[in-house]
């Protein structure tokens, strides 16, 4: 049975699943869909065309469904889809999509958005993404699965972050980060591989060693970068993890690939 505080506003047309909880002074718009067990704490706002999956919790003063912060927005409608069992903490802002037929911003399952995070229009987040306090992204950012973004990091619009990557706190992210890549605060460019993240997710030692070798071949051998990519693809064609990096590079987004911060020294982040 749903619990709705008397001071909350739930517009006609909103669809609420079973056992939804809506706290004091919260707002739910007419085109909102809340899945089973969704919790909106006090002073949460879910406006516009928003779908929130089962078991997700939205904390006070979060604003979901705001208009895109773009001079190009002329009042067109858009949508937001948020997956299951996410945690959206205080003062998070998520804007609906602006571009394309769907005009959609999408967040996957089991994501954790800490205080003050901003997800701009047309962003796409995979599953199990953690955005630490005040992580901020411009429009059209794509973040893969199992990614950690540190506090106060900022992502340029159209940046892609590959699966299993990590971005340290305070990092500006101007260009695409390969799957398994690591950016560290205080360093310019790619700081190696997310070794700790891979170990925590149960990657085997041979799998990690293969990725380390492929990383060296990709960034620290002779020849043009495009040539090195093809050599790595030929050498590690049977390795699914390495080929995931190759495919990411071949897809060629609007931003270039972030390169290592130096051409010598340690090629992995292990501490």
Q: What is the CATH number of domain 195-251?
A: 1.20.1180.10
> In this predicted structure, what is the pLDDT of residue 265?
38
pLDDT of 269 reads: 42
Domain boundaries in the chain? 1-140, 195-251
pLDDT in tens, the chain (271 residues): 899 999 999 999 999 999 999 999 999 999 999 999 999 999 999 998 999 999 999 999 999 999 999 999 999 999 999 999 999 999 999 999 998 877 999 999 999 999 999 999 999 999 999 999 999 999 999 999 999 999 999 999 999 999 999 999 999 999 999 999 999 887 779 999 999 999 999 999 999 999 999 999 999 999 999 999 999 999 999 999 999 999 999 999 999 999 997 643 344 444 3
Read off the tokens for 250: 């071949």
Calpha distance 90→108 (Å, rounded): 19
Residues forming the active site: 121-122, 139
Model pLDDT, residue 187: 77
pTM of the predicted model, to two decimals?
0.95
Is 65 within 8 Å of 48 (Cβ atoms)?
yes
Give the chain as a DSSP string.
--EE-TT-EE-TT-EE-TT-EE-TT-EE-TT-EE-TT-EE-TT-EE-SEEEE-TT-EE-TT-EEEEPPS-TT--S---EEEE-TT-EE-TT-EEEPP-STTT-EEEE-TT-EE-TT-EE-TT-EE-SS-EE-TT-EE-TT-EE-SS-EE-TT-EE-TT-EE-TT-EE-TT-EE-SBB-TTBEE-TT-SSB--BBHHHHHHTT--HHHHHHHHHHHHHHHSSSS-HHHHHHHHHHHTTT-HHHHHHHHHHHH--SSPBPPBS-SSS--SB--
Domain boundaries 1-140, corresponding CATH code: 2.160.10.10
Task: Write down the pLDDT at residue 10.
Answer: 98
């Amino acid at each position: 049975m749903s619990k709705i505080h008397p001071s909350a506003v739930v517009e006609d047309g909103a669809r609420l699943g079973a056992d939804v909880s809506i706290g004091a002074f919260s707002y739910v718009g007419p085109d909102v869909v809340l899945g089973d067990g969704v919790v909106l704490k006090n002073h949460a706002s879910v406006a516009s065309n928003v779908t929130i999956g089962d078991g997700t919790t939205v904390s006070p003063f979060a604003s979901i469904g705001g208009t895109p912060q773009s001079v190009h927005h002329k009042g067109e409608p858009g949508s937001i889809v948020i997956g299951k069992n996410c945690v959206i903490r205080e003062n998070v802002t998520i804007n609906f999509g602006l571009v394309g037929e769907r005009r959609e911003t999408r967040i996957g399952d089991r994501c954790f958005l800490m205080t003050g995070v901003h997800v701009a229009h047309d962003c796409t987040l995979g599953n199990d993404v953690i955005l630490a306090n005040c992580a901020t992204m411009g429009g059209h950012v794509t973040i893969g699965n199992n990614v950690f973004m540190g506090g106060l990091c900022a992502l340029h619009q159209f940046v892609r972050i590959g699966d299993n990557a990590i971005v340290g706190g305070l990092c500006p992210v101007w260009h695409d980060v390969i799957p398994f890549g690591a950016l560290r605060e205080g360093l310019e460019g790619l700081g190696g591989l997310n070794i700790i993240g891979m170990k925590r997710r149960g990657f085997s030692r041979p799998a990690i060693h293969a990725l380390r070798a492929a990383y060296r071949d990709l960034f620290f051998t002779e020849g043009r970068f495009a040539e090195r990519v093809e050599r790595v693809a030929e050498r590690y064609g049977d390795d699914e993890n390495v080929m995931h990096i190759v495919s990411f590079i071949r897809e060629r987004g609007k931003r270039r690939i972030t390169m290592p911060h130096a051409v010598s020294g340690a090629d992995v982040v292990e501490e």
